[in-house]
Structure formats: C-alpha cells, structure tokens
Structure 1
Amino acid sequence: MILRPRVRRQAVQRSLQILFSIILIWTCYDIWAVRRAAHTQSQIPNPSFPSDQKIFIASLHWTDEIVLREHWISAIVQLAEDIGSPNVFISAYGSGSLDNTEAALRELEDELRTRGIPHAVVFDGATHQDEVSKAPAESGWIRMPATKSYRGYSTDYFTLSKDEWVPRRIPYLARLRNEVMRPLYEQQGKGIVYDKVLWLNDVVFTSNDVRTLLATRGGDYAAACALDFKKAPVFYDTFALRDAQGFAPLADTWPYFQSASSRNALKQSQPVPVASCWNGMLAFDAAPFYDAQQPLKFRGIPDDLAFSHLEGSESCLVHADNPLSAEKGVWINPNIRVGYDGIAYNLVNARKWPSSLEIVVGVWRNRFMRWLPLSNLYTSRRTVSRKEKKWKTQNPDREEKGAFCLIDEMQILLHNGWGHA
C-alpha cells in the first residue's frame, strides 16, 4: 500500500519526535548520573597522610618563575610540613631557564633549609643553547630530514638545515628526570627508602589534592595521576595520556576517552584505568625504581625509530617499562584537578565540574567521534602503526614496548625551547 504524502509526513514527524524524546531522556540521564556520582564523591572526607609512609617528591623546572613564586613554592613547603619532615624528601632540578627560575628555586632551598625539610635543589646552568652547541652524541641526536625555519619565545625566525645534527627533546628530558631521581638512590645508601614517588609539574595544587591522589584505590596502584588544565576546560597533557586500550584521547574535552572502561569510570568519578598518564601530578609505587637488576628509568624511543618521524613521551614510556603497570594498574583520579595557573585551577575546582553544558556537548561529541571515525586522529593512528611495523620488519630482534605511546611527530631541542621537525 502506498502512503499518501500527508500520512508519510506524519509518520516522519512522529519518528523524529520519538528520536528527539529518546535523545533528550538519554542526555538528561547523562547529566543526572554524572552529577550524582560527583556529589557522592564530594561527601567522602579528605584522607590523611599515612604516618608510616615516606614520600619522595620530584620536580623539574624550566622557565616557570611566575607559577613558582605565586603558587608552587608555598604549596610545596606546606605539603612537606603536612607530610612531616621525617617522611618526606624534595628533589627539585632547575635547568638553564630563560627567566629567574633559578632565583626562585634558591628561595625554595632557603625555605626548606630553615624549616629542616630534607631536600636536594640542583641548579643546572646548561641552557638549551649549550645543549644544541654540543658535538652530536652516540644517542639522543638526529639528523634533520629537511630544512625548516623556527620561531619561539619572541625570537626571530631561524633555520635548521637538512642533514644538520640536532638533539632530540625526549631523550634530553628523560636524562634530566633521571637526574632528579638521583637523590632517591643517595638516600637509599643512607638506609632511607621511600614508599611513593610523587612527581609534580609546575602546577597549582594543594596538600588536600596530594592526600587524595596518594589515597587513590587505597594506595594500591603502579601509578596514579591527576587531571591537568592550562586553558580550562581543555585538558592539557594529551601527549602522555593513553586510555585503557592504549589509545590517545579522542578529544581534549570531557569525557576524553575512546575506551569504554576509561570513559565509564570517569563519568562515575571513580579511578580511571589507563595505560599511561602524567597530567601535572603523578604518584608512583616506588618499588620498581629500587629494582636491583633493572631499576625503572626514564627514556626516549630509539633514534632510528624516531627518524621515521615518530616520538613517544618519556612520561608515557615509563609506564610501558614499569613491571607493576600490568599488576597494579595505572589510574587517573578524576577528583584531583590541577592547573598551570590560578585561573585554570579555580575554573575546574571552584564550581561543579564538568558543567551541565560540558556534559551534554562532551558526551555527544565523544559518541559521534566513536560512531563516525572520520577524524585525523584515526588517520594518524594508522600512519604510526605502519611506520612502527616497518621499523620492526627492519629490526626483527628489537621491540618497542611503548608502541602505544608513539605519535606522528619529531621533536627536537632548539636554542630557546623545542620544536617539531
């Protein structure tokens, strides 16, 4: 039977009304469920610092004087006092900054010394210019595949020529992070062993943030991370973050993930299972760093793999190398949100987070990106996979454990920062 035009229109309208009603009910449920979970979590009392747990705090600083003076120094001193001097050690490392970061760190050193807080504050005067001026080392350097111009930190453009040797950014950062960890082993030589390693970026945070992070899953984790924001509500550290399936975030706005297990835990304000994270504030179980045979270290990917125009964050690779990652898991605590300035911190902490609008836009954007995989992200994944497989074919006896960390980039150190080659 052929429907008359009027009947067809009514049928279409009825179908659209039903579809709209389903979408509306679904969306309202999303808002209610996320709000209910967040409210439930907010009623949980703040945990205390365990009196029998020692915390090694590590931080690396470059050109971050403003946040040090405005927030970080006072926060880290307060944190150390809240933990208690017998149970804390602060290792801070400043490297060749373009501002007065070194002076700010000296003030921190004076404050820690005055208060009797165990610490090691190192001032590395070597600038990026010093690093790029060195003769190429056996590893951590790469030959420029093409001539390219760069500009950074308000300088004029300058050019790096094809076949010019330049240091890679990630091996450089890995080396500095390992230097920050050096006092951990010096303390071990004195008979002092730490239970957790807490890495802090140059972020705004409070002692309560750290308490809650350390207490994630009752302290049972290989690593636990906060969420970090530079221009809220946009999430910052997508380079190191991989969801439970090893995928990079679908978007830099809530709820971020492709993996259902990661996404659902986030919506429920529960610890989020991930393959890797860093996110401004990160707590490790310290045991792998003390392994007598193969202590956990920071590293970059091999130079010949990087030459394929691939890179992986040292902050991601460390989880791939960590033997505890498979046993205890890597987690994000979504109830801990730090910012790279006071404005960002307040935006994600001084109100309901995420907002109702962010929930609505976020969940539907995420759904469409999963249902219609047309974004550049999927193309990039295929490109990375193809390059990594080609490298494995050429090197059958080698394997990159952190293949899920790889992205289609080449990052090099420049005299005033870093850039993409």
Structure 2
Amino acid sequence: MLRPAAWQEAMPNDTGSDADRLKARGGASLRNFHRRLRALLLFLSLLIFLEILWTCSRSTPATRILKGGGGSELTNTYKQRVYIAALHYNDEELLRKHWIPSLLDLVQHWDPENVYVSITESGSWDGTKDALRDLDNELEKLGVERSIVVSNRTHEDEVTRKPAANETGWIQTPRGELEMRRIPFLAAQRNEAMKKIQQLASRTENPRVFDKILWLNDVIFKTDQVTALINTRHGDYAAVCSIDFSHPPEFYDSFATRDIKGQAPVTNFWPLFNAPESYKAVSTYSPVPVQSCWNGMVVFDAKPFYHEPTLQFRGIPDTLAAMHVEGSECCLIHVDNTLSKDKGVWLNPNVRVTYNEEANDVVNPEKGGWPTSSGKVQGIWRNRWAWWTGWPWRWYAERKVDRKLKAWELGEKAEGEALRNEPGRICLVDEMQILLANGWMHL
C-alpha cells in the first residue's frame, strides 16, 4: 500500500525527534548526575569544615600549660621533696647549653633542701664527664646534696669482656656470638642512679625521704614544665610523663608508650592513640590515661621505691629475649609498679620536651599553639588512615609476639628454673637490641 507523500516526508522528521528526545534525556541525566555530585561534594566539604571547627574548638590552646590539674604556677605549695635522676652518655653540647642551666634553675626554684640529684655516666668519649664535673661544682655552691658518678669504663670494655658464669644480660645472637643486651644494661644504669634513695632514708644522721622521683633524659626542659608535670592531677598518680620530640610533628618514644588498652601509638603523630579514652584526652589537652610512658621526662610517686621488695628497673629474661623479643625497661617499670593500678599512669600533653633546639622551637612556639589547626586535622586523618590500613600488620605483629611468648612459657626449662611468666606482655615487641662499642643496634 502506498503511503501518502506527506506522511513519507514526515517520517525522517519523526525519527529525528526521537533522537533529539533521547539526546535530551541523556543531557538531563548528565545534568542530574552533576547536580548530585556537586551536592555530595558540598556535603563532604561541609563535614570537613565542621570537623575543623569541632577539632579546634574542643582543644585547649597548647600554649597554656594545663590549668586545673596540670599546674602552671611556678610555686611549690606543698614543698614536695624530689629525687632527680638522670643518665648521660656523649651529651656535652646539650648539657652545657641547655640541661645544666635548666637543672640549676630548677633546684634553686625547688629549694636545695628539697632536692637530691643523682646522675650516672658511663662510656662517654666527648666532654660529658667534664661537663658533669662542672655541674658538680655548681651544685656544691648551691648546697645541693648529690651523687654524680662518672666512669672511665667504656661500652667497648663492656661488650668485649667475657661474662661471668650465670651472668644475665647476654644472649646468643643470630650472628653466632654471645652478645650483651642493651635493655638490661640500661636497667642496671638506672638502678645505679636510684640506689641512693634508700641509703638516704636509712642513714642515722639527717635521713631523707622523698615524695617524688623525677627522671630527666637528655632533653631541653624548663622549670615551669617540670612544675607542671609534677602537679598533673594535683600530684595524684603512680607516674606521669611529658611528651617528647626529635623531629616534630613526629612523636619520639613509642617504644615505651602504651595507651590505656596497652596498645602502642597507632601513629607517631598527634593525637597518637586509638583507644577512645586516651585519644579523647590528647585531643582535649587533658591528662591522658595510659598503661606506660617515659617520653623524655617522667615523675613517679616515690612510695614503691621504698617498699619491700623495692621497685627496680629490669629487662625481660634472657631466654625470652633470645627468641627475638624485647621490652623497654621504661615500660616494664610501670607493669611492676604496684601503684599503677590504683593511681594510674598518665601523660601530660601540654608538657613537651625535645632533643634539639629546632624541635623545641616547633612544639613550644613563642606565639600560637601546637599543633596548629591544620596539624590537628592532618593528625586526625593520619590516625584514621593508620587505623584503617595498618590493622593487618598490627594483628600479625601481636600474634607473632604472642606465639613466641607462649613457646617460651612452655619451653624446656633449666634445672631449678621457676615457672616461666612475663607480666609485661604490653611492653613486648618483635625486636632484638644489643649494645655496641659506639652505641647499640637492632638485630
């Protein structure tokens, strides 16, 4: 059947109309997608903006040394007696430029009759010994009672000697050699610096008992920082630590730091932790509940160092260390401290000490706070990213140490060896650390 000419001529136009309609529908769909994408991006931008406001508004400016529990005032209301302890090794430049002037200022502020200074040095080949002798003379002028022990015995002397029969602190390493462990060596050094505390208490003439023990690393510190740290939570703690930096914004001492759940920092950037209670406290510049810390400067309640058995620094057993497991003496001391469960271990995020001037200028600026607003937001997202992406590695690392610990507990024991038990599980890591003539190393 023949179609009318008009109809035949209209068909191409109808076909074109269908194509136009399809094209129009496609354009409308694309425009709708773009609108939804813009709305989503706007919503995400709003969320990020609100998070920035929330993060910044909930944080106390870091330039304020903790109010109400941190103690910013340069006063010694209760005249607490403080035993100050330190180890030094090749620290001459920092000692002369920062550490010694700060210590002299501290003891004068705290009053010489309220402090005792105990310093142990060994193995230095720079001018550390001479710097400490100069400090000894200055403390003498101030009337400060003290014990400053310098030793000509070097690390090379230590690591090259033959250990005595049944002497601990040595292990057979993968290099096929009997080598000296770093942690027991440091623990012995710390115990040497602490031994005067009981001697002072038991002497018949002018016995002295201390309220707090202040450990100072080779850090840049100020008197107001020490005062703030001691006054954290109005002095109610088993131990409280500062936070330390060498290359900010990265935190330094993750080896000895464990959050309230016993986990190592999820990142080395603010706010450090994943445990909600610890995370929230860092974010609000409040005293942070942790299970362990050291971080350049730490204050202990002195009571456990007078009780029997006396609290001492230690390493893990050599038989466990030989399985490529290690734990810091600065972590194990909190595990062994009977006051830790009752009074808690705390970190004061407002007291920031450093190992060099450049780091100090960053984390203790003359103006403004630390971290900056952008640093806080970056830190939060670093924390989240590390938690999301790092959990398989953390899970594997934990299980690896658990397996080694279990194998050690069930392993063959030497004659007369007691039931194997290491209470410091939170401190254990998959490492082996040995002392060298010029320092130490991982194996």
Q: Answer yes or no: same fold by TM over 0.5.
A: yes
Q: Take 2:333 and 2:177, find their aligned partners in 1: how far apart are those partners?
A: 29
Determine which structure has more spread, i.e. the larger CA radius of gyration. Answer: 2
Mapped to 1, the partners of 2:111 and 2:430 lie a distance apart of: 44
Residues 373 and 173 (structure 1), Cα distance of their counterparts in 2 relative to 1, 3 Å cut: same
- SS of structure 2 residue aligned to 1:202: coil
The residue aligned with 2:340 is 325
Deviation of 1:305 after TM superposition, in Å, equals 0.8
Q: 1:270 aligns with which of 261, 272, 286?
A: 286
Q: Does 1:22 align with 2:35?
A: no
User: Is 2:36 the partner of 1:7?
Assistant: no
Residue 49 of structure 1: SS of its match in structure 2? coil
* CA displacement at 1:115 relative to structure 2: 1.4
Distance 1:234 1:76 in 2: 26
Question: TM-score, normalising length from structure 2?
Answer: 0.86
Write out per-residue CA displacement over residues 85-115 of structure 1, whole angstroms, 9 at most, x where no aligned residue: 1111000111111211001000001111121
**Residue number in structure 1 paired with 2:8:** none
Q: What residue ranges of structure 1 are gaps of 5+ in the alignment?
A: 146-161
Taking the aligned partners of 1:401 and 1:265, their CA distance within structure 2 comes to: 27
Give, in angstroms, the shift of residue 8 of structure 1: 4.3
Once residues 251 and 97 of structure 1 are traced to their aligned partners in structure 2, the CA distance between those partners, rounded to angstroms, is 33
Which amino acid in structure 1 is aligned with residue 140 of structure 2?
Answer: R
Confirm or deny: 8 A CA contact 2:61 2:370 kept in the other structure.
Answer: no
Superposition deviation, residue 24 in structure 1: 2.5
Q: For each residue in 1:58-78, what CA deviation from the matched residue of structure 2 results, as whole angstroms up to 9, or x when unmatched?
A: 000011111000011111111
Alignment of 1:187-202 (within 5 A): 187-190=200-203, 191-202=207-218
Offset at residue 343 of structure 1 (A)? 2.2
2:109 to 82, 107, 115: 82
Residues 250 and 269 in structure 2, CA contact (< 8 A), matched pair in contact too = yes
Deviation by residue 1:3-55 (Cα, 9 ceiling, x = unmatched): 94543453344334323322321232112222568769469752522344110
Distance 2:61 2:330 in 1: 33
AA matched with 1:76? L
Q: Distance in 2 between matches of 1:208 and 1:243?
A: 26
1:367 aligns with 2:394: no
Partner of 2:16: none
* Aligned-pair identity (%): 44
SS in structure 2 of the partner of residue 297 of structure 1: coil
Per the normalisation by structure 1, the TM-score is 0.91
For structure 2, the 5+ residue unaligned runs are: 1-25
Matched, 1:173 2:190: no
**Does 2:431 align with 1:404?**
no
User: May I ask how many residue pairs the two structures share in their alignment?
Assistant: 403
SS, match of residue 373 in structure 1: helix
Residue in structure 2 matching 1:143, options 157, 172, 176? 172
State the secondary structure of the residue aligned to 1:124: coil
- Within 5 Å, which residues of 2 pair with 1:249-288? 249-288=265-304
Counterpart amino acid of 1:273? Answer: P
Aligned pairs (5 A) from 1:106-125: 106-125=133-152
How large is the RMSD of aligned CA atoms in angstroms? 2.1
**For 2:324, what is the secondary structure of its paired residue?**
coil
- Answer yes or no: is the 8 Å Cα contact 2:182–2:435 preserved in 1: yes
| Residue-by-residue CA offset, 1:328-357 (whole Å, 9 max, x unaligned) | 000011111111122222221114111112
Distance in 2, matches of 1:64 and 1:36, equals 33
- Cα displacement (A) at 1:222: 0.2
Any residues of structure 2 matched to 1:193-272 within 5 Å, and which? 193-272=209-288
- Secondary structure at 1:109's aligned position in 2? helix
Aligned residue type for 1:406: L
